[in-house]
Chain A
Amino acid sequence: MGRAELPLHAPGTQLDKGYIGQSVPRPNAQRLLQGRGAFTDDLRFPRLAHVAFFRSPHAHARIRKLDFSKAVKAPGVIGVFDGRAVAEYCTPWVAVLAHLKGIKSPPQHAIAIERACWQGEACAAVVAESRSQAEDAVALIEADWEELPAVIDMDESLAGKTVIHPELGDNICFKREHDTGGVDEAFAKADLVVEETYGFGRHTGVCLEGRAILADYNAGEHSLTVYHATQAPHMMQDIFSRHLGIPEASVRVITKDVGGSYGIKVHVYPDEMATAALSVMLRRPVKFVADRLESFLSDIHAREHKAKVRLACTKAGEILAFELDDLTPIGPYSVYPRTSGIEGNQVVNLTGGPYKHQKYRAKMHVVFTNKNVTCQYRAVGHPIAVALTEAIVDLAAHKLGMDPAEFRRKNLIPDDAYPYTFPSGIKFERLSHHQTLDKLLALMDYKKLREEQAALRKKKVYRGIGLAAMIEVTNPSPAFYGVGGARISAQDGATLRLEPTGMLTVMCSVTEQGQGTEAIFAQIAASAVGVSMDKVRVITGDTGVTPYGGGTWASRGAGIGGEAVLLAGRALRSNMLDVAAAILKVDKAELDLRDNAVVHKLTQEEKMPLAELGRVGYFRPDTLPPDFQAELTVTRHYTPRQYGFTFTNGVQASLVEVDPDTGLVKLLKHWCVEDCGTVINPMLVDEQIRGGVVQGIGAALYEECLYDASGQLLNGNMADYLVPMALEMPDIVCAHIETPTRQSQLGAKGVGEAGTAGAPGAVMNAVNDALSPLNARVTSMPFTPERILRALGRVA
C-alpha cells in the first residue's frame, strides 16, 4: 500500500474528502433521462443483418433432421444455418474450473448439433434483412425429433436412473463436502437441535433490456468488433478470440448503455457466440436481441435449491454447530466460463456466516437436469445461505422462547474478534455485526413494533417482524476464478489523462450498468486530482480504450476499480505538480492542486489555472527544462491481495402483515443497515440496496420458473412470471456503519448485491413470525397464497 501524498477520507478525521461521501447526482444519467442513451439495439450499421433462432420445443430430444428448404426461400433471408455450419467458425467449450474439485460438464456448442438438451436451446439460426423476416423463416423450418427421456426433478437427477450425459457416468456436475470435525459431538451434547428443510424456487433476472449483441467482422483485416451488453468486456474479448480464432488484440468489445444485468449478462451464451460466428462467416454485421419469450427460455436461471439444515445450541441460546445438506439442479450444461458450481459452493461457504460457532459440516450436490441452464445471478448463493441460516436461527430462538434479536446478539461474532477465520474456511478482515444490529433495532424502533404486533394480534391482525443478519462476498481476488484457470481478471486498471483545457478523462476497466460506476469514478478522480467534477469525463466498456480488467461482478466496482482510479489520480496529481513546479520554477513541495488550479500549498493562493498547465505541457514543452518531459497521462492497476474476498456485513428487517384468509402478504416496511466500508456516494449506495432488496422480495413472494414434468416452461412471459411492481413494494430505510478495508487507500468494500442477499431471509422470517400464533410455518419460496393457506390448514 503506497503512502498517500495527500490525505483522503478516513472516518472521524477532519481531512478534505473532496467528493468522497457526497450524494452527487450521476453525470451520465442526463442523457438517459432524455431517451438519448445508446443501448446496443439502438445502434445502426450498414448491411446490418438480424438473426433469429430456431429453438427446441422439447426438453430433451435428438435432432434427427432439420429441413431448411422452405426457410431459405423466405423473403429477406440471407442464410439458414445448423450447428455443424456454425461449429466451423466457433469451437465448443467446457465450463469447469480446476479449483472446484471434480466438477464435470460435457462440451457445449454455440448451436446444438446432435441433440437439444433443454426447451429453448438454439438448434438453428436464420439470418435475414430484418428480425421480422428472420422470424418468418424460423417458422418455416421443419424438424424431425426423437424425444428422449427428460430429467426434471432434482432428486431423480441425483438418483441417476436416467443419465443425461452417459459419458459422464451420472448427473452430478459438482459435489462438495466440508467437515470441521466435532459436529456429531456438538449435536449430541446440545440442549436443543432444530432441523428444517427449505425450498427455493428457480427464478431469473428479467433484465428490462433483453440480451443484446451486435458483432461486426471486418474481413479486410480479420478483426472483430462486438457491441455487447456484457458486464465483462475483456473476458468476452478473450473468449471471442479463442473460440472464433481471431487474434486477441484484433477483437474489440464495446459495451454501450446496458439496460440492467444483475449477473445475467456476465455469462457466455451460445446464441451470442453463434451471432459472432455468423458475422465472421457472412462478413457483415449481425445483431441479436433476445426477445422476452426467449429470455425466459434462455437467459440463465438461478437459485433452485432444496436444503436441509440442522442447528445445535445450548438452552442458553449459544449455537454450537450447523449442518447443511444442499441439493441444487442446474441445466444440462455448466455455464461458461464461471461454471454452475459456484452458487452451491457459496452456499457451503456462507451458511451460518454471521455467527461464532466453531463446528460445521456440509454436503452439497449440483445436478444436471433438462431445464434451462443456471449460473451466477445477483448475490449468487447468498440469498439461500442467509435465508436458511436466519430461518433456522429464528426457529431455535422461537423454541427457546427467546427474542430473535437477543438470540442473534448472543451469537454474532464480536466486533473486536478480527481478523477471524470462519468454520467454512473463509476469512473476515473486520466486520461490525453488533454495531449494525444495534443501529437497526434503534432505526426500526424494534420494541415499539413488537408492542404494536402484540396489540394487533389481539384484534386478529397478524403482523410479522423478520430479521436477517448477513455477510457478503465483495472485491474478490483471483481466488474466485483465476486460481481455477479462468481467464477472468480480478484486477482492474484506470487511465487518467489531463486534457489541454484542464479537463480530466478517466478510462477504467470496470463497467457501468446503471449502478453509478462512472459517477463514483468521477468523484474519486476529481477528489484525487483536485478538479471539480464537471471537468471529468469517464469512459468505460471498451477494450480498445481502457486498461485491461475484470469488469463488473461480485460487487467489485467501487472497491477495485475505484482504488485503481484513486491510485492513478494520485500519481497524475504528482506528475502535474512536477510540471507546475517546472513551469513556475519553484519547489514541488510548495504547491498543491485545488479547484482546477495550481495553488500555493500554505497560502492557497492561485498560481496557475490547470488550463495553463495543460497548454504549456502539451503545446509549449520547449519552454520547459531540456531533460524534463511532462507525463500527463497515468495508468494504475489494483488487485486486492490480502484477503481472497473482502467480506461485508449487514442486517435487514422486514415488517409484514399476512391476511390469513387470502394468504396475501402485505409488505409494510423494510430496513437495511449495511457496512460496506467507505461510502463514496450515499445516494447511489442506498439505491443499489433498495433495488437489491426488491429483487430479493421478488424471490420471496413472487418469482418462480415453473416447469412441468416433461420440462416445458409454463410461465415464461411477463403476465405469468410475476416480478415486483411499484404498488406492492414497501419503502426501504437504509443506514450505514463504515468499517473501511485496510487493503486499499479508498477503504471501499462492495455493496451492489447486499440488498438481494438479505431480503428473502428477512421476508421469510417476517412471514413466519406473522403466522406463528396460528401455528403455521412456511419454508418454500416463493411464499404464494397457496403455500401460506396450506400451511395455515385453510385449504386441504
Chain B
Amino acid sequence: MEHAVEATLTVNGTEVRRRIEPRQHLVDFLRDELGLTGSHIGCEHGVCGACTVRVNGAIVRGCLMLAVQADGCRVETIEGLSDSGELAQLQKAFHERNALQCGFCTPAMLLAARDLQLGNPRASREQIREHLSGNYCRCTGYQAIVDAIEEVLHGKG
C-alpha cells in the first residue's frame, strides 16, 4: 500500500485501527475494508448522495472524504443506525408507504431524513423536499419518501 497512513476511527461504536491508503475515500474503506456494504456508491463526485454517512454526528458524502480524514472521528453507517434503533420510526414509515423501490438510495435517504428530523422537526413538505434535494432517487419520483417523512414528523396525514 503506497503512502499508507495509520488511522483510528470508531465505526458504529467499535474502534477500528487500520493502515489506509490516503487515496481511498471513506465509503470505499467502509465497504471494502470493513464489509459495511450498506452505504452505496453512485457517482464518486458528490452529487448523487448515495454514499451519505454520519461523521461526528453530521451527514457527509462518504465519497468526498478520505478515509484517513476520519482518524479520530465517530462514523455511523446505516447498519449501525439500524441496529441501534435510531432509524426505526423512519424505516417503518418508509416500509408502509413504499418509500423505496430498488433500495439503492435508501440508506442515504434515511440518513438525510434523520438529519432533518433532528435539525428541523417541524419541517414543512417543501422543506422536506429541499433537505432531500441532494439525494438522487430514480425509482420513486420522491413523493412516497416525502410522505413517509411527513408522517414521521407530523403524524399520519
Q: Looking at the assembled complex, report how far the CB atom of B152 sits from the nearest CB atom of chain A, in whole angstroms.
A: 13
Q: Does A690 contact B (CB under 8 A)?
A: yes
Residue from B94, B106, B133, B141 in contact with A690 in the complex, judged by beta carbons closer than 8 Å:
B141
Indicate if the CB atoms of B38 and A34 lie closer than 8 Å: yes
Given A684-B98, A726-B133, are A260 and B104 also a contact pair (CB < 8 Å)? yes
Q: Quick check: is B118 within 8 A (CB to CB) of the other chain?
A: no
Q: Chain A nearest CB: distance from B111 CB in Å?
A: 10
Interface contact A35-B23, CB-CB below 8 Å? no
A214-272 interface with B by 8 A CB criterion: 257-260, 262
Chain B nearest CB, measured from A672 CB (Å): 11
A575 on the B face (CB < 8 A): no
Which chain A residues border B103 with CB–CB below 8 Å? 29, 32-33, 37, 257, 259, 514
Verify if A208 is at the interface (C-beta below 8 Å from B).
yes
Spot the interface stretch: A38-46, A353-361, A525-533, A590-598.
A38-46
A500 interfacial by beta-carbon distance below 8 Å? no
Complex Cα distance, B3 from A75, in Å, reads 14
Residues A291 and B104 in contact, CB atoms below 8 Å apart: no
Smallest CB gap from A681: residue in B: B98
Contact A732 B100 (CB under 8 A): no
Q: Indicate if the CB atoms of A25 and B102 lie closer than 8 Å.
A: no
Q: Report if A179 contacts B (CB, 8 A).
A: no
* A residues less than 8 Å from B95 (CB atoms): 25-26, 29-30, 33
- Interface status of A209 (Cβ within 8 A of chain B): yes
Chain B, residues 19-43, CB within 8 Å of chain A (1/0): the string is 0010110000001000111111111
Q: Which residue of B lies closest to A23 (CB)?
A: B98
Contacts of B38 in A (CB 8 A): 34-37
Docked Cα-Cα span, A503 to B139, in Å, equals 31
Nearest-Cβ distance from residue B79 to partner chain A, whole angstroms: 5
Q: Is B146 an interface residue (CB 8 A)?
A: yes
For residue A33, which residues in chain B have a CB less than 8 angstroms away from its CB? Answer: 82, 91, 94-95, 100, 103, 106, 110
CB-CB nearest in chain B for A515: B101
Q: Verify B129–A718 contact, CB threshold 8 A.
A: no
Set B2, B100, B141: member contacting A29, Cβ < 8 A? B100
Per the 8 Å Cβ criterion, residues 91-143 of B in contact with A are: 91, 94-98, 100-107, 110, 126, 129-130, 132-143
Known A35-B38, A258-B102, A726-B142; judge A291-B78 contact (CB<8 A).
no
Q: State the total of A-B contacts with C-beta under 8 angstroms.
A: 172
B48 to chain A, nearest CB (A): 6
Interface contact B143-A35, CB-CB below 8 Å: no
Chain B: interface residue total (CB-CB under 8 A): 56
Whether B138 pairs with A723 at a CB distance below 8 angstroms is yes
Given contacts A35-B38, A292-B44, contact A207 B100 (CB under 8 A): no
**Which chain B residue has the least Cβ–Cβ distance from A725?**
B133
Q: Which of A34, A688, A694 contacts B142 (CB 8 A)?
A: A694
Q: Which of B43, B101, B134 has the most CB of A within 10 A?
A: B101
Instruction: Give bound CA distance, A787 to B110, whole Å.
Output: 37
Query: A694 to B139, alpha carbons, bound, how many Å?
Result: 9
Contacting pair A691 B48 (CB below 8 A): no
Verify A513–B102 contact, CB threshold 8 A.
yes
| Interface residues on chain A, size class | 35 or more
Majority DSSP secondary structure for residues of B touching A: loop
Of B24, B77, B139, B141, which one neighbours A35 at CB under 8 angstroms?
Answer: B77
Which residues of the other chain, B, contact A32 by a CB distance below 8 angstroms? 100, 102-103, 106
A20: Cβ under 8 A from any B Cβ: no
In the complex, are the beta carbons of B104 and A208 less than 8 A apart? yes
Nearest residue, chain B, Cβ from A759: B141
Q: Is B68 an interface residue (CB 8 A)?
A: no
Q: A25-B98, A208-B48, A260-B138 are in contact. Are A726 and B40 (CB under 8 A)?
A: no
Indicate whether A514 sits within 8 Å of B134 (C-beta atoms), given known contacts A35-B37, A39-B40, A719-B47.
no
Nearest CB on A from B142, distance (A): 4
Q: Do the beta carbons of B42 and A208 come within 8 Å of each other?
A: yes
Which residues in A have their C-beta under 8 angstroms from that of B79? 34-36
A259–B108 Cα distance when bound, in Å, is 13
Query: Which A-chain residue is minimally distant from B131 (CB atoms)?
Result: A726
Complex contacts, A262 vs chain B, CB 8 Å: 138
For residue A687, CB closer than 8 A to chain B, the reply is yes
Residue of B nearest to A31 (CB): B103
Q: Which residues of A contact B11 (CB under 8 A)?
A: none
Distance in angstroms between the alpha carbons of A691 and B143 in the assembled complex: 9
* Residue A604 is within 8 A (CB to CB) of chain B in the complex: no
Q: Does B9 contact A (CB under 8 A)?
A: no
A residues near B139, Cβ cutoff 8 Å: 260, 514-515, 687, 691
B138 touches A727 (CB 8 A): no
**C-alpha gap A75/B24 in the complex (Å):** 16
Interface residue? B144 (CB, 8 A): yes
Does B136 contact A723, Cβ atoms closer than 8 Å?
yes
Nearest CB of chain A from residue B50's CB, rounded to whole Å: 6
Assess whether A209 is in contact with B102, with CB atoms less than 8 Å apart.
Answer: yes
Whether the pair B136, A208 counts as a contact (CB closer than 8 A) is: yes
> In the complex the two chains form, what is the Cα distance from A70 to B38 in whole Å?
37
Residues of A within 8 A of B101 (CB): 260, 513-516, 687-688, 691
Q: Which residues of B lie under 8 Å from residue A39 when comparing CB positions?
A: 37, 40, 104
Judged by a CB distance under 8 angstroms, whether A731 is at the interface is yes
> Does A693 have its Cβ within 8 Å of any Cβ on chain B?
yes
Chain B residues, CB < 8 A from A10: none
Residues of B within 8 A of A581 (CB): none
Which residues does chain B contribute within 8 Å of A692, judged by CB atoms? 141
Query: B-facing mask of A373-405, CB < 8 A → 1, else 0?
Result: 000000000000000000000000000000000
* A110 lies within 8 A of chain B by Cβ: no
Is B145 in contact with chain A by the CB < 8 A criterion?
yes
A108: CB under 8 A from chain B? Answer: no
Min Cβ gap A337→B in Å is 24
Q: How far is the CA of A33 from the CA of B99 in the complex (A)?
A: 10
Partner of A731, one of B31, B43, B97, B143: B143
* Closest A residue by C-beta to B102: A514
Q: Identify 25 residue pairs between A and B in the complex whose beta-carbon atoms are under 8 Å apart, listed by A's number.
A: A25-B96, A32-B106, A33-B103, A33-B110, A34-B78, A35-B36, A36-B79, A207-B138, A208-B137, A259-B104, A513-B102, A687-B144, A690-B140, A690-B143, A690-B144, A691-B138, A691-B139, A717-B43, A718-B47, A725-B135, A725-B136, A726-B133, A729-B129, A729-B141, A755-B141
Q: A719-B45, A723-B138, A727-B129 are known contacts; what are 9 more A-B pairs with Cβ within 8 Å?
A: A25-B96, A35-B38, A35-B78, A208-B137, A257-B102, A718-B43, A725-B135, A726-B142, A732-B141
Binding site for B on A (CB under 8 A): 25-26, 29-30, 32-39, 41-42, 44, 75, 132, 205-210, 257-260, 262, 291-292, 513-516, 683-684, 687-688, 690-695, 717-719, 723-727, 729, 731-732, 755
Closest 3 CB pairs of A and B: A35-B38, A32-B103, A514-B102
